[in-house]
Structure 1
């Protein structure tokens, strides 16, 4: 056990004592968290981990009653580095540790292979951010997600490119990951269906830093829009190199680039309203005050702003525990049927799952950037 994990357990014990409860080992419900805490997406993974930890701290400050007794919630945190192979190793560690539910993984390329291991072990898994439709199309009754999928994201972005940005032509670049390729395919289908013409389809990797080759190929056809399926770590440098090559096209992408980090990664090449992206989630007006209160508490607790998905991880923890409370059991076999019937009003809004584990009424938010900050273009269903 790492020092960090020891601090978490001790902290939970202190919270329990402060509330007047002393817990035996059998009164602890262990949950798992997995995400990229190292590597290119570590800033996003850390954001999600903090959201999950915040939920655990809040629960232990007012201990939940499951099966007629107060319990302490503990969290075993694992780093999958966003890598599919490491993700399966992490998933097996969490299963072997006896976790009762899992929040994660972060990216679809890690979530999809890990989901088979949780399914085989009959352990519920809620991904707060994975958008590839394949995740919930495998027939695993243990798989759930709290965001819109790539089909929804790509469809809305493709229509927006044609109907709002008046794009007649577009080029697509993706990073060859399950996430990047999936959302790029959906955007391409939607934009084509709306009447635009694909001029170039290019590929890179999620480790690349030099995009001048693919961008030079893209530039030849002078597209109105360049869509990138990938993450902000590549999206920012790509924007810089587009500026260097005098590519004037609008730049679009999914939630992978739609982060508060993009302005610092892109620098002065991020011109006002030159980028349009979508976040796989959307907070409707009635939930805005609660979301702002969460962001304020998060900033006070960690000294940093929410990046994107911390609130979703927070609600994922709460949803798992809510199902356990309704089932009067933390046994996955007993609380899974209750998880399927979730109707939970949390930070991100109301959560209900369909029979595949997708949201019944998924929302997404379109954004642009102005003066170095994200600016909402509205929530869509």
Structure 2
């Protein structure tokens, strides 16, 4: 006969809640997204969430099975407000929620501090937007990205400015964020390495919440540059263009993917004349791959009644890459599918995706755009 103490212990164990999901129930796999859903960058952050949600819904429709159980894919979006401290708090929240993977963050300044938290928890992270080289150069096995880094973006824009736009005198402005300053620094390196008589004649600084640029633009006007390079986001670049027009600055504005949005015509108004702005998005497809991206764009517009800003297709692909790695490993346990993620090969809507040992995209492409008649116009894909 069992003693009362043993019987009590057995009953207590039977009554205790179990954190394991019953084998007869769908396997719930949470994917987190982290991006600014408030503030001046909210349109870009929501673009990331929307792209990821499209992927989640499509995966649920496929009825994927892992370990003999049908998967229920769940998206957990979080607002990092484009703030490093908030980004770190959001990262810990996602870790505590036991997400299997994270798509994010958008801004380099939030991505880097958050990446340490994910790395400590062993949770894989794919950024659909962050371009600072530091992100993947920290030695974390959990850090990946599906866009080119600043080294490639900055130097490619420098080459284009000098060789195609024929710029000799170049002014540089950055917003002092990790993204803006890092991109501007790489652009300056590209100008210095390019030769050909081009030089940086003015280096100015602002911040990511500024609205008045008259002082720095007046100094720049005195140098009469051919090109102004801006490291930052569209929320600042739009008003800056208006003030450039008011001051009579004839220079073209060159920038990275933070400026290359569908909202730029609204932000810049009539200052966005044809071929005034040149920008790149860190990715690109040509030939048969264009059909896949066009189909995604149409699905997105039908669903959300909005244009794709910039990052939605990269967030979509990031979720799909996670799903492929999990299927290859037959597990949603990060410790098990992480090696499969590192060696993944996936044909996405943004092109071919495979990672180098650091977690950077192999053979990364860049797509160059300008604006004509108030619309973002594709010029060419660069590799």
Q: Distance in 2 between matches of 1:165 and 1:306?
A: 28
Q: Distance in 1 between matches of 2:60 and 2:225?
A: 53
CA contact (8 A) 1:263 1:373 kept: yes
Matches for 1:9-48 after TM superposition, within 5 Å:
27-48=27-48
Could you tell me which runs of 5 or more consecutive residues in structure 1 were left unpaired when the two chains were aligned.
1-21
Q: Distance in 2 between matches of 1:330 and 1:275?
A: 44
CA contact (8 A) 2:26 2:70 kept: no
Which residue is 2:312 aligned to? 310
Q: Deviations over 1:13-59 (max 9, x none)?
A: xxxxxxxxx99666101111110000110000011100000100111
Q: Distance in 2 between matches of 1:189 and 1:24?
A: 58
Q: Distance in 2 between matches of 1:299 and 1:374?
A: 16
Matches for 1:193-212 after TM superposition, within 5 Å:
193-195=193-195, 196-212=198-214
Q: Distance in 2 between matches of 1:323 and 1:38?
A: 31
Which residue is 1:19 aligned to? none
CA contact (8 A) 1:133 1:151 kept: yes
Given the alignment of the two structures, is residue 267 of structure 1 paired with residue 264 of structure 2, yes or no?
A: no
CA contact (8 A) 2:23 2:69 kept: no
Q: Distance in 2 between matches of 1:305 and 1:228?
A: 24
1:193 Cα deviation after fit: 1.8
Matches for 1:101-250 after TM superposition, within 5 Å:
101-195=101-195, 196-250=198-252
Q: Aligned residues, how many?
A: 360
**TM norm structure 2:** 0.92
**TM norm structure 1:** 0.93
CA contact (8 A) 1:173 1:204 kept: yes
1:70 Cα deviation after fit: 1.0
CA contact (8 A) 1:23 1:71 kept: no
Which residue is 2:74 aligned to? 74
Q: Distance in 2 between matches of 1:64 and 1:35?
A: 27
Q: Deviations over 1:221-276 (max 9, x none)?
A: 11111000000000000000000011111111000111111111111111110111
Q: Distance in 2 between matches of 1:26 and 1:125?
A: 24
CA contact (8 A) 1:102 1:123 kept: yes
Q: Deviations over 1:194-246 (max 9, x none)?
A: 23111111100000011111111111111111000000000000000000011
User: Structure 1 residues 336 and 220, CA, compared in 2 at 3 Å: closer, same or farther?
Assistant: same
Matches for 1:249-260 after TM superposition, within 5 Å:
249-260=251-262
SS at match of 1:191: helix
Which residue is 1:289 aligned to? 291
1:164 Cα deviation after fit: 0.6
Q: Deviations over 1:107-158 (max 9, x none)?
A: 1111011000000000000001111111000000100000011110111100
Q: Distance in 1 between matches of 2:190 and 2:241?
A: 23
Could you tell me which runs of 5 or more consecutive residues in structure 2 were left unpaired when the two chains were aligned.
1-21
Q: Distance in 1 between matches of 2:299 and 2:225?
A: 43
CA contact (8 A) 1:23 1:72 kept: no
User: Structure 1 residues 23 and 263, CA, compared in 2 at 3 Å: closer, same or farther?
Assistant: farther
Q: Deviations over 1:321-357 (max 9, x none)?
A: 1101110111101000000010011211110000000
Q: Distance in 2 between matches of 1:118 and 1:25?
A: 28
Q: Distance in 2 between matches of 1:34 and 1:103?
A: 7
Instruction: Between 281-290 and 364-373, report the one with greater CA deviation.
Output: 281-290
Which residue is 2:50 aligned to? 50
SS at match of 1:71: strand
CA contact (8 A) 1:67 1:325 kept: no
Q: Deviations over 1:291-316 (max 9, x none)?
A: 11111111111111111110110110
1:68 Cα deviation after fit: 2.1
Q: Distance in 1 between matches of 2:305 and 2:372?
A: 24
CA contact (8 A) 1:279 1:364 kept: yes
Q: Distance in 1 between matches of 2:304 and 2:94?
A: 26
Which residue is 1:324 aligned to? 326
CA contact (8 A) 1:53 1:75 kept: yes
Which residue is 1:339 aligned to? 341
